[in-house]
Amino acid sequence: MATKKGKTEENIQSSENTTAEINFSEWLKPDVENVVPDISVVKYSNYALIQVMERDMLIDFLELPGIKKDGKWVINTTRVYLTHSHGQKLAKSILKLLATSNENHNFEKYIPDE
């Protein structure tokens, strides 16, 4: 029996039962030499609020003082969600970079908590 595109029913049935494996880890693995960041949005933040929840965390980056509109203060905010492990890596990286910059005198003032 002929069906669409000249296939027989037997061929259609056998192709429906066929499975294929796709290795997404290899497919999504970036070729580091060919990665180019697309920084299409740039924001300034002079204040951050951090919330940690059961499954993830978020950081709200605020641009203070904001702008008064219709009698209310409107503050531009960018929210970033992270897993706990990525939040820990981010915190360690920031502290390490600040300590290194302080040792190299790369910015005006930084006083470590130690």
Are the C-beta atoms of 8 and 2 separated by less than 8 Å?
Answer: yes
Residue carrying the six token digits 């990286």: 93
Predicted pLDDT at 82: 97
Predicted pLDDT at 32: 81
Res. 69 pLDDT band, cuts 50 70 90:
very high
Gap between the Cα atoms of 17 and 32, Å rounded: 37
* Adjacent-strand bridge partners of 72: 69
Structure tokens at 82: 């992270």
Q: Residue 46, by phi and psi: left (phi above 0), alpha (psi -120 to 50) or beta?
A: alpha
| 76-98 pLDDT per residue, tens | 999 999 999 999 999 999 999 98
Give the whole-number percent of the chain exceeding pLDDT 70: 82
